């Protein structure tokens, strides 16, 4: 079913909206959630919570892109669940690995007052991504938005794992340089 029709169903407060969303996007949302949580039950729970959040948000919202709207909700819910769960555990899980990679992009602030808002930071990342080759951008997004495993990215883009690691290394370094140049401190 077309996304526009699904969104109309939400606006009509029809429960079919959730069925149709599930039919079309359950695998996509599950992929995002499972990458973060690495747990079937919790991932399924997050996907179901995504539908509920979407139900509560539409209306008044009319998302321009339903896939990314749902994806962003799933990602946030899954990261929150991950935080709750990891508070009880210690160790280097998948999200910790991704976070540790992102440390490479961080510049220590000279002045604590001068740290940037998340919105400005997103704008800087968007502008950085706009200026990297398409394949590099997709690999960056796959690793740090979808949190895909390096092995999966390599397989899908037909390149070796070492090449993926090398490309990610470069992009983190270049993002750091860009943030530094624009005086963006975290």
Interface residue list for another protein (CB under 8 A): 27-28, 31, 64-65, 67-68, 71-72, 75-76, 79, 92, 97-106, 118-119, 121-122, 125-126, 129-135, 137-139, 141-142, 144-146, 148, 150, 152, 154-156, 158-163, 165-166, 168-170, 172-174, 177, 186
In whole angstroms, the minimum distance from the beta carbon of 13 to another protein comes to: 25
In whole angstroms, the minimum distance from the beta carbon of 3 to another protein comes to: 12
Q: Of 14 and 127, which CB lies nearer to another protein in the complex structure?
A: 127
In whole angstroms, the minimum distance from the beta carbon of 110 to another protein comes to: 14
Q: Of 56 and 162, which CB lies nearer to another protein in the complex structure?
A: 162
In whole angstroms, the minimum distance from the beta carbon of 78 to another protein comes to: 11
Residues 17 and 72: their CA atoms lie apart, in Å, by 18
CB burial of residue 45 (10 Å; 0-12, 13-18, 19+): middle
What b/e sequence results for 116-138 when a residue is b if at least 16 CB atoms lie within 10 Å of its CB, and e otherwise? beeeeeeebbeebbeebeeeeeb
Q: Of 22 and 138, which CB lies nearer to another protein in the complex structure?
A: 138
In whole angstroms, the minimum distance from the beta carbon of 164 to another protein comes to: 9
Q: Of 10 and 146, which CB lies nearer to another protein in the complex structure?
A: 146
Which residues have C-beta within 8 Å of that of residue 58, sequence separation ≥ 6?
A: 7, 10, 11, 17
What tokens does 71 get? 């994806």
Q: Of 26 and 48, which CB lies nearer to another protein in the complex structure?
A: 26
Q: How far is CA 9 from CA 6, 16, 52, 85, in A?
A: 5, 7, 14, 35
Residues 106 and 178: their CA atoms lie apart, in Å, by 11
């Amino acid at each position: 079913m077309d996304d526009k029709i699904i969104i109309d169903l939400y606006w009509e407060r029809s429960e079919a909206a959730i069925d149709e969303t599930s039919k079309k996007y359950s695998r996509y949302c599950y992929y995002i959630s499972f990458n973060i949580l690495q747990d079937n039950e919790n991932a399924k729970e997050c996907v179901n919570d995504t539908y509920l959040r979407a139900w509560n948000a539409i209306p008044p919202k009319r998302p321009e892109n339903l896939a990314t709207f749902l994806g962003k909700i799933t990602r946030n819910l899954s990261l929150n669940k991950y935080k709750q769960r990891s508070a009880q555990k210690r160790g280097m899980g998948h999200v910790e690995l991704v976070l540790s990679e992102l440390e490479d992009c961080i510049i220590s602030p000279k002045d604590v007052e001068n740290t940037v808002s998340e919105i400005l930071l997103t704008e800087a990342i968007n502008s950085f991504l706009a200026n990297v080759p398409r394949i590099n951008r997709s690999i960056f997004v796959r690793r740090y938005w979808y949190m895909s495993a390096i092995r999966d990215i390599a397989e899908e883009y037909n390149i070796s794992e070492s090449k993926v690691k090398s490309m990610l290394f470069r992009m983190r370094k270049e993002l750091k340089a860009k943030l530094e140049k624009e005086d963006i401190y975290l």
